[in-house]
Amino acid sequence: MIFGKHFHRKEAPWEVVDCHAVTPISMWDDIEELEVVRMHDADMSFKIEHDIQRSTDLQKVLQVARYHLMEQAFQHNFNVLLVEGWRLTLMRKGKKYRVEVVYTGRPAYAMGKDTRVPAPPFLCFLEQCQRELHQLLPSE
């Protein structure tokens, strides 16, 4: 046999426990107040995997993923994300838990009254996910 015992996976794979997603949505209530000078031709994404011990770690990992996506946008001379969304996948291997977050956004360079970065979309949805996962993970 060409695939001998050397290629056998010795470690158990991660089991997907739960998955939640927020489809990319507009982050600006009044887009007319924002003068979009230029926009990236496609959405950008940043993916991060992190081992977690507490359900409160989910929001921290989401914030880190968003921060890194904004850093990528800044490197391409963009200063806002016009649309943002995320997908969170919770995985388990034995007693260990890991979360994968994919944060997606459409970067643009904009001018206007307020180009401050708003909070990530649907954090209340993430809080609901945390409450559901409280049975699996210790809180704090």
What does the pLDDT profile of the chain (140 residues) look like in tens digits?
555 556 666 778 899 988 889 999 887 776 667 788 999 999 999 999 999 888 778 888 999 999 999 999 999 999 999 999 999 999 999 889 999 999 999 999 988 756 666 666 677 777 777 777 777 765 44
At 111 the pLDDT is: 85
At 114 the pLDDT is: 61
At 128 the pLDDT is: 74
At 118 the pLDDT is: 67
Stated pTM of the model: 0.81
Cα distance between the two ends of the chain: 50
Map out the domains of the chain as residue ranges.
15-133
Q: How far is residue 86 from each of residues 4, 15, 102, 126, 139, measured CA to CA in Å?
A: 40, 20, 6, 10, 22
Here the tokens at position 139 are 């809180």
At 31 the pLDDT is: 64
- Give the Cα separation of 96 and 90 in Å (integer): 11
Residue type, 133: L
Largest CA distance in the chain: 68
- Give the Cα separation of 115 and 74 in Å (integer): 13
At 42 the pLDDT is: 95
